[in-house]
Chain A
Amino acid sequence: MNQLVYLVPLFPLIGFLLNGVFRNYLPKNLSGLIGSGAILVSFVISVLLFIEVKNGLVINQTLFDFISVGELSVPFAFQVDQLSSIFLLIITGVGFLIHLYSTAYMHEERAPHFARYFAYLNLFVFSMLLLVLGSNFVIMFIGWEGVGLCSYLLIGYWFKNDSYNNAAKKAFIMNRIGDFGFLIAIFWMILVFGSTNFADVFSKAATMPVGAAALTGITLLLFLGATGKSAQIPLYTWLPDAMAGPTPVSALIHAATMVTAGIYMIARSNVMYTLAPVTQTVVAIIGLATAILAATIALRQFDIKKVLAYSTVSQLGYMFVGLGVGAYTGAVFHVMTHAFFKALLFLGAGSVIHAMHHEQDIRNMGGLKKHLPITHITFLIGCIAIAGIPPLSGFFSKDEILAGAWSVNKIYWVIGVIGAMMTAWYMFRLYATTFLGKFRGTPEQEHHLHESPAAITIPLIILAILSFVGGWIGIPEVILPDAHALEHFLAPVFAKSNELKQAHHIEHSTELMLMTVSVAGALIAAIIAWIKYSRKTDMESRGFGKVLENKWYVDELYDKIIVRPLYATGKFFNRQVEKNLIDWLVNGIGKLVHYGSRQMRWMQSGQVGSYVLLMVLGMLVFFVLQFFIKK
C-alpha cells in the first residue's frame, strides 16, 4: 500500500488525458464514465490510505529527482499523513459525487465540449491531489497553480461569453497575486532553511525563537498566497464572479476543495504559524473581517449562486479565524463539514437552476417546495447545517472555532457570533425565498418544473446525510468526554504546535454558556428570516441595502485604483516611452546621419578648384590651432 500513493493522482491524470485527447471521438456517456470512474478509483485508494494512516503511520513516496542543484534538492515526492488523508477523502469523495452529478447536469452540452468539461474537471482533481500530497512546498506550489489554471478553464468553460472570460481571467490573476507571495515565501525558505521539504523546514523552524523575523515574513507571504486561493480580503472579489462557471464546478472548486487550499497550507505549516504570533493575529483579523464583510454582502444578493458564493467567502473567513487563534483542528474540521454542506447547497442550487431553465434570480422563484421535494429537503438540511444549529455538522465545527476565538480574544468571539447570526439570516432568507411562498416565475417555467434525475438527487441525498452526521466525529469535551475522534486522529500533525503554544483553557461552564448564546442567536435569526421571507419577498434594496447589494463597491474601487492605472501605464509606455522616446531617438540618430551626409555632399563636388580651396583652408586652420596650442 505504501508504494501506491502515486496511483491516487494518476487516475485523474489518465482521465484527463483520455478525455482531452479523444474529446472529438468519445460519446458522452463514455467520457462521463471515464471522468467519474477515475475519481471513484482514486477515492477507493484514498480510503485504503486512510485506514493505513489511521494507525499513526506517515507514508512517504519519492518518485524522482525533480530539481537538484548544489545544496538544494527538490524531489518529486508524496507524503500522506493524517492531514493530507482527510483532504484526500474530501477531494475524491465529494469530487466523485460532483462528477456523477455533472453527467446529468451537463447533458445539454455537445460531445466534444462534454469531454472537455470532464477533462478539465479531472485535471483539477489531479492538481488538487498534487497540492495535498506533495511532501515539499514546490510540489504543493505545482498543484497550487494547477488548480488555479483549472479554475480559470472551468469558469471560462463557456468561452464564447466574454463576461465569463473576464471572470475567469480575474480569478486567475487574483490568484496569481497570491501565488506571488507564495513564491517569495519559497525563495525565503530556501535561503533560511536550505530546503523546501516539509520535514526539514518544520524541524528547523521549530528550533527558532518565537517571533523570529524570517518566520513572520515567510508566514505572512504564505498567507498572502492563501488570501488569493481562499478568497480573503483583499483578494476575495474573484470568487463571487467565479460563479460564471457551471454550477457543479462552483460546488467542487469554489466551495468544497480548491478554496480550502489556503487552510490546508497553513494547517500544514502550523509549526511556523504558532511561532509567528504577529502573523497569527493578522490571519485571525483578516479572517474575521472577511467573514463579516462577506456575510453583510450575502444579506442583499438576489442571485442564488451569489448568496452561496459570499457565504463561502464568509465561511472561509471562519476557518482562518480558527487558524489564527491556533484552533487548527477546528479549522480543518470546518473545512470538512463545509465541504459537505456547501457542496450540498451548490448542487441543490444547481438542481433548482436546472429545473428553472437557467434562472438564477431568487426573486423569480418561490414555492419550489412542492415541485422539487428531494432538492427542497436536502437544501433545508444544508441550511440548518451551515447556520450552526445542533445536532447538524456545522454547529460542531463552528463552535470549536468560536471557542478557540474566545480563549484568545473575547471580541473575536463576539464578532464571530454576529457573523454566525447573519449566516443564519441570509441562508434562511435564501431558503424561504426560493422554496416557500408562491411561485413567481413565468407560467411556462412552472409548467416545466420537475424534480431532477437520479444522478442529481443521489449526490444530494448522500451529501445531506453527511451534512447531518458529519459533525459527530468532533463532539466537544463538554458534551461528551473523549468523543472528539477527529482531534485524536489529527493529533500527530499538530503535536508540535500544541507543545509550543501556551494552552488557554476555558471552563466547561463558560463553554456551555458560549455555545448556548451562539446557538440561540442563530436560531432566532433563522426563525425570523424564515417567517419574514416566506410571507413577503424583498424585491429591491433601498438605502444602505443598495450599498450591500453592490458589494460595498469594492470591485469599482479596484477597477479605479488598480486595473485602469495599470492599463493606462501600459498605454503610456507604449505611446510615450517606446514610440516618442526610444524610437524617436533611434530614428533621430538615423536621420541625423542621413542629414549630415547630405550636408557633406557639397564637399565631394568633383571640382579640383574647390578641393584645393578646402585643402588650403584646412591647412590654415591647422596652423592657427598649432600656433595657439604652442603658446
Chain B
Amino acid sequence: MTLIWIIAIFFAGGLLCWAAQFVNRVLIKWIALIAAVANLALVGAAYAEYRNGSAPGDWLIDYTVNWIPSFAIKFHIALDGLSLVLLLLTAFLGVLAVLCSWKEIKERVGFYYFNLLWTLAGITGVFVAMDLFLFYFFWEVMIVPMYFLIAIWGDSNRRYASYKFFIFTQAGGLLMLVSILALFFINHANTGNYTFDFFELQNITLSVAEGRWIMLGFLVAFVIKLPAVPFHSWLPDAHSEAPTAGSLILAGLLLKTGAYGIMRFVITLFPQNSAEIAQWAMLVGVIGIIYGAMLAFAQNDLKRFIAYTSVSHMGFILLGVYSFREMAFDGVVMQMLTHGISTGALFAMAGMIKERLHTREMGNMGGLWTGMPLMGGLALLFAMASLGLPMMGNFIAEFLILVGAYEVNPTLTIIASIGLVFAALYSLRMMQRVFFGPRTTPDRHPEPFLRQGELREGSAHSASAVYDLSAREFTILISLSVAIVILGLFPQPVLDSVNTVVQSLIQKNTP
C-alpha cells in the first residue's frame, strides 16, 4: 500500500495546489512541501523496512488490481531493491525541488506546483510500474507536466526548448508503445493470453529478428531519455531553459528513468539481443563520455555547461550496463543516485546564482567566493564530486563501472577513463570562472547567512548584488552535500540493497 500512497499523495497534492490557487496563495507552497515531505517519510520508512533487499526472485512489494480488464491492462506495481533506492532519490530530490522553487516562482504558482508534483508522481510510477501499459502511462504523466514546467516558467528561449524536449521524448515514447504492443500480440499468438504484465512477458520467446526490432523500440526511448549521443540535443536546451526545480528534476530524475528502463526492461526482456549490441552500446557510451566532456569545456552558459557534464556522466551508464558485470551494475545504480545528487546540486546552485546576478553567462561571473564563501565551499565540493574525487559518491560509481567494464573491454575502458581527466579540466574551469579570480560583481554581504539578520534575500534593491546563502538555500545544499559524502564513504548499504536485483540481472545475461 505504501507505493499507492506515495503516488496518490503526489497526484492529490498536485490537485490541491492547483485548487489552492483560487483560495489562498500562501497555502500552495506549503501543501506542496507537506506532500513532498510526507512522501520522503513514507519512502524512508519503506527503506528502513526493506533496505536489505529481497530474497532472490522475490519482490518486496507486489500489488496488482485490474485496471482496464477489457484490454487486459492491470494496475501492477512492485518494488525491489533497485526501485527502492530510486524512489528514495525521487522523494529526496522532490522535497528539494519544492524548496528550490520557493522564491523563484511568482506566477501561476498553483499550476506550477501541480505540474511539479505530477511529474514526480509520474517518475515514481515509472520506477514501480510492472505492467507495460501502466509503465507507458506513467512515462507520459512524467513528460507532459515537465513540458509545461519548461514552456511556462522557463527562460527566454523556453518555447523552442520545450518543443524540442517534448518531440524528442514523445517520438521515443511512441516507438516504445509500438514495441509494447508488439510484445502484447506476439505473446498472445504464442500463449493465447492477452497481457501487458511484465512478469509474464519476461518468459516470452521471440525470434532473433523480432527481438531485435522490439528491443530497438524500447532502447530508442530510453537512450533519448538517458541521453546517449547523438540523441542528446534536447538536453542542453531543456536543462538550461527550465526553471531551477525543472533542471533539478530533469537531471536528477528524468535521465535516470532512461537508465532504469534499460536495466529493468531492455536487458531483462532481450538478453540475447542485448548481448549482440553490447560492444556497440559500450562504444556509444564512451563516445558520450568524451563528447560530452569536450562540449562541457566549450560552454559559457553555466546551465548548459552542467547539462553537457550530464551527457558525459550518463555515458558511463551505457558502458556499465552493457558490460554485464556485477560490479558495473552496482556502479550504474550508484551513478544514478550520485549523479542525481551532484548534478541536482549544481543546478540548484546555478539557479541561486541566477537569482542574484540574473545571468547564466560564466563570463559575467567571477570572484563570487569573496561574496559567497559558503556557497563557494559547497560548489567546490560538488565540482569535486562531479570530477569523481574519492570520498564522494560519484567516484564509487565510476570506479565500479570502470572496474567491471575493464574486464570486458580494456580499450574502451581506458578511453572512458580519459573522461575523468577531462572532468577535472571542465570542473576546475567552471570553479575558476565562477568563484575564483578577481571580483566582477559588487557583493553586499561577505558574511554567511547566519550573520545577516536584517538582510534577507529577495529584497527589492538586492538586484545584482551578491549575498551568501539563505537558510533555505543552505538547507538544500547541505543536505545534498551530506548525501554525496555519505554515499562516497559508505556505499555498501546501497550495494546491499540492490544485490539481489543485480544477481538476477547477471543470471539472465550470462550466456
Contact = CB atoms under 8 A, between A and B. Distances in A.
Contacts of B291: 573, 577
B277 interface: no
A72 B295 contact: no
Contacts of A566: 425
Interface string B392-436: 000010011011001100100110011011001100110010011
A183 to B, nearest CB: 6
A186 B377 CA distance: 31
Contact of A574 (B298, B407, B421): B298
B233 A67 contact: no
Interface string B487-500: 00011100100000
16 contacts: A64-B490, A67-B400, A69-B400, A72-B327, A141-B390, A159-B437, A162-B436, A179-B420, A184-B414, A191-B406, A567-B298, A569-B294, A570-B294, A573-B291, A582-B233, A583-B233
Given A65-B492, A169-B432, A586-B233, 11 more contacts: A64-B492, A69-B327, A159-B435, A160-B439, A172-B428, A173-B421, A173-B424, A183-B420, A184-B406, A569-B294, A574-B295
Contact of B492 (A67, A141, A177, A187): A67
A555 interface: no
B451 A24 contact: yes
Nearest to B384: A149
Contact of B326 (A70, A112, A570, A583): A70
Interface string B227-243: 00010010000000000
Interface stretch (B65-73, B84-92, B209-217, B367-375): B367-375
Interface in A170-197: 172-173, 176-177, 179-180, 183-184, 186-188, 190-191
B82 to A, nearest CB: 15
Contacts of A415: none
B421 A180 contact: yes
A146 interface: yes
Nearest to A145: B390
Interface of A is mostly: helix
A67 B491 contact: yes
Nearest 6 CB-CB pairings of A with B: A574-B298, A570-B298, A187-B406, A142-B390, A159-B436, A176-B424
A142 B391 contact: yes
A165 B491 CA distance: 33
Interface string B275-301: 000000000000000010011011100
A162 B438 contact: yes
Interface of A: 20, 23-24, 64-70, 72, 112, 138, 141-142, 145-146, 149, 152-153, 156, 159-162, 165-166, 168-169, 172-173, 176-177, 179-180, 183-184, 186-188, 190-191, 566-567, 569-571, 573-574, 577-578, 582-583, 586, 590
A177 B199 CA distance: 47
A173 B436 contact: no
A146 B230 CA distance: 35
A566 to B, nearest CB: 8
Contacts of A70: 326-327
B299 A146 contact: no
B406 A188 contact: yes
B165 to A, nearest CB: 12
B164 A586 contact: yes
A145 to B, nearest CB: 5
Of listed B367, B389, B429, B448, residue having the most chain A CB within 10 A: B389
B396 A67 contact: yes
Contacts of A582: 230, 233
Nearest to B370: A160
B197 interface: no
B45 interface: no
B447 interface: yes
Given A570-B294, A571-B298, A68 B436 contact: no
Contacts of A156: 436
B436 A165 contact: yes
Given A67-B491, A571-B298, A180 B402 contact: no
